[in-house]
Amino acid sequence: MDARLNLFTSPTVGKALKHVMAAGKVIRESPLPAATQELVSLRVSQINGCAVCLDMHTKEAAAAGESAVRLHLVAAWREATVFTEAERAALELAEHGTRVADGAGGVGDEVWERAARHYDEEQLTALVLLISFMNMANRMNLITQQPAGDYVLGQFH
Protein backbone atom coordinates (compact mmCIF):
# COMPACT_ATOMS: atom_id res chain seq x y z
CA MET A 1 0.00 0.00 0.00
CA ASP A 2 1.25 3.45 -0.86
CA ALA A 3 0.40 6.49 1.20
CA ARG A 4 -1.79 9.11 -0.45
CA LEU A 5 0.45 11.84 0.93
CA ASN A 6 3.99 11.82 2.21
CA LEU A 7 3.45 13.52 5.54
CA PHE A 8 7.18 14.00 6.00
CA THR A 9 7.84 16.06 2.87
CA SER A 10 4.98 18.56 3.10
CA PRO A 11 6.04 21.96 4.47
CA THR A 12 2.54 22.51 5.86
CA VAL A 13 2.47 19.15 7.62
CA GLY A 14 6.02 19.71 8.84
CA LYS A 15 5.03 22.96 10.53
CA ALA A 16 1.93 21.41 12.09
CA LEU A 17 3.66 18.20 13.16
CA LYS A 18 6.26 20.19 15.05
CA HIS A 19 3.48 21.32 17.37
CA VAL A 20 1.73 17.95 17.37
CA MET A 21 4.95 16.19 18.39
CA ALA A 22 5.52 18.79 21.12
CA ALA A 23 2.03 18.06 22.45
CA GLY A 24 2.79 14.34 22.37
CA LYS A 25 5.93 14.96 24.41
CA VAL A 26 3.95 16.89 27.02
CA ILE A 27 1.51 13.98 27.33
CA ARG A 28 4.35 11.40 27.56
CA GLU A 29 5.97 13.45 30.36
CA SER A 30 2.71 13.83 32.28
CA PRO A 31 2.01 12.01 35.56
CA LEU A 32 -0.23 9.50 33.73
CA PRO A 33 1.60 6.14 34.02
CA ALA A 34 3.52 5.22 30.87
CA ALA A 35 1.97 1.73 30.73
CA THR A 36 -1.51 3.27 30.83
CA GLN A 37 -0.56 5.66 28.06
CA GLU A 38 0.53 2.80 25.78
CA LEU A 39 -2.52 0.67 26.57
CA VAL A 40 -4.87 3.58 25.86
CA SER A 41 -2.99 4.45 22.66
CA LEU A 42 -3.35 0.86 21.52
CA ARG A 43 -7.05 0.65 22.33
CA VAL A 44 -7.93 3.89 20.55
CA SER A 45 -5.90 2.78 17.54
CA GLN A 46 -7.59 -0.64 17.52
CA ILE A 47 -11.03 0.95 17.51
CA ASN A 48 -10.06 3.30 14.69
CA GLY A 49 -8.14 0.66 12.73
CA CYS A 50 -4.92 2.68 12.57
CA ALA A 51 -2.19 0.20 11.65
CA VAL A 52 0.62 2.78 11.86
CA CYS A 53 -0.22 3.66 15.46
CA LEU A 54 -0.72 -0.01 16.38
CA ASP A 55 2.72 -0.77 14.95
CA MET A 56 4.32 2.10 16.84
CA HIS A 57 2.64 1.66 20.22
CA THR A 58 2.94 -2.13 20.27
CA LYS A 59 6.69 -1.88 19.66
CA GLU A 60 7.16 0.97 22.14
CA ALA A 61 5.16 -0.82 24.85
CA ALA A 62 7.05 -4.08 24.34
CA ALA A 63 10.39 -2.26 24.48
CA ALA A 64 9.30 -0.61 27.74
CA GLY A 65 8.67 -4.05 29.23
CA GLU A 66 4.98 -4.55 28.58
CA SER A 67 4.08 -8.25 28.41
CA ALA A 68 2.89 -9.89 25.20
CA VAL A 69 -0.15 -11.22 27.06
CA ARG A 70 -1.34 -7.75 28.04
CA LEU A 71 -0.65 -6.36 24.57
CA HIS A 72 -2.67 -9.15 22.97
CA LEU A 73 -5.56 -8.73 25.40
CA VAL A 74 -6.07 -4.97 25.07
CA ALA A 75 -8.83 -5.52 22.52
CA ALA A 76 -10.67 -7.78 24.99
CA TRP A 77 -9.80 -5.91 28.18
CA ARG A 78 -13.25 -6.39 29.72
CA GLU A 79 -12.82 -10.15 29.88
CA ALA A 80 -9.08 -10.09 30.66
CA THR A 81 -7.79 -10.40 34.22
CA VAL A 82 -4.36 -8.89 33.50
CA PHE A 83 -5.31 -5.22 33.84
CA THR A 84 -5.61 -3.18 37.03
CA GLU A 85 -8.87 -1.47 37.92
CA ALA A 86 -7.23 1.86 37.07
CA GLU A 87 -6.16 0.60 33.64
CA ARG A 88 -9.64 -0.78 33.03
CA ALA A 89 -11.15 2.61 33.88
CA ALA A 90 -8.72 4.33 31.48
CA LEU A 91 -9.51 1.84 28.71
CA GLU A 92 -13.23 2.36 29.26
CA LEU A 93 -12.82 6.14 29.09
CA ALA A 94 -10.74 5.73 25.92
CA GLU A 95 -13.45 3.65 24.28
CA HIS A 96 -16.24 6.05 25.17
CA GLY A 97 -14.14 9.06 24.15
CA THR A 98 -13.33 7.44 20.82
CA ARG A 99 -16.78 6.11 19.99
CA VAL A 100 -18.58 9.40 20.54
CA ALA A 101 -20.57 9.04 17.33
CA ASP A 102 -21.72 5.57 18.40
CA GLY A 103 -22.50 6.52 21.97
CA ALA A 104 -25.21 9.14 21.53
CA GLY A 105 -24.10 10.89 24.68
CA GLY A 106 -20.34 10.82 24.59
CA VAL A 107 -18.71 9.95 27.88
CA GLY A 108 -21.31 9.30 30.55
CA ASP A 109 -20.98 10.34 34.17
CA GLU A 110 -20.49 6.73 35.36
CA VAL A 111 -17.55 6.20 33.00
CA TRP A 112 -16.00 9.49 34.09
CA GLU A 113 -16.52 8.72 37.79
CA ARG A 114 -14.82 5.31 37.44
CA ALA A 115 -11.79 7.00 35.89
CA ALA A 116 -11.81 9.76 38.52
CA ARG A 117 -11.60 7.12 41.30
CA HIS A 118 -8.17 6.10 40.03
CA TYR A 119 -6.63 9.24 38.56
CA ASP A 120 -6.13 12.72 39.98
CA GLU A 121 -7.10 15.82 38.04
CA GLU A 122 -3.72 16.19 36.31
CA GLN A 123 -3.71 12.52 35.27
CA LEU A 124 -7.29 12.81 34.03
CA THR A 125 -6.31 15.87 32.02
CA ALA A 126 -3.43 13.93 30.47
CA LEU A 127 -5.75 11.00 29.77
CA VAL A 128 -8.29 13.23 27.99
CA LEU A 129 -5.48 14.85 25.99
CA LEU A 130 -4.04 11.45 25.07
CA ILE A 131 -7.40 10.07 23.90
CA SER A 132 -7.99 13.19 21.81
CA PHE A 133 -4.41 13.17 20.49
CA MET A 134 -4.61 9.52 19.44
CA ASN A 135 -7.92 10.04 17.67
CA MET A 136 -6.40 12.93 15.72
CA ALA A 137 -3.28 10.94 14.80
CA ASN A 138 -5.35 7.91 13.82
CA ARG A 139 -7.56 9.97 11.54
CA MET A 140 -4.64 11.68 9.83
CA ASN A 141 -2.98 8.31 9.17
CA LEU A 142 -6.20 6.66 7.99
CA ILE A 143 -7.21 9.46 5.64
CA THR A 144 -3.79 9.43 4.00
CA GLN A 145 -3.47 5.61 4.11
CA GLN A 146 -0.11 5.52 5.85
CA PRO A 147 1.40 2.03 5.59
CA ALA A 148 2.48 0.17 8.72
CA GLY A 149 5.13 -2.29 9.73
CA ASP A 150 8.33 -0.31 9.40
CA TYR A 151 8.23 1.68 12.63
CA VAL A 152 11.61 1.88 14.38
CA LEU A 153 11.69 2.34 18.18
CA GLY A 154 11.94 5.99 19.16
CA GLN A 155 11.34 7.17 15.59
CA PHE A 156 8.90 9.91 16.62
CA HIS A 157 10.19 10.70 20.11
- 78-100, pLDDT tens digit by residue? 999 999 999 999 999 999 999 98
Q: What is the pLDDT of residue 104?
A: 66
Domains in the chain: boundaries? 11-143
Question: What count of residues does the chain have?
Answer: 157
Domain 11-143, second-level architecture: Up-down Bundle (1.20)
What are the distances in angstroms from CA 156 to CA 32, 75, 92, 106, 111? 19, 24, 27, 30, 31
Cα–Cα nearest to 116, from 135, 90, 80, 142 = 90
pLDDT (tens digit per residue) in 108-143? 999 999 999 999 999 999 999 999 999 999 999 999
Give which of 68, 112, 66 is closest to 90, Cα–Cα.
112
Q: What is the dihedral of CA 47, 48, 52, 56, to 10 degrees?
A: -40
Tell me the percentage of the chain whose pLDDT exceeds 70.
97
Q: What is the pLDDT of residues 25-71, one digit of tens each?
A: 999 999 999 999 999 999 999 999 999 999 999 999 999 999 999 99
Q: State residue 93's pLDDT score.
A: 97
Q: What pLDDT sits at residue 103?
A: 67
Please report the pLDDT score of residue 56 as a whole number: 92
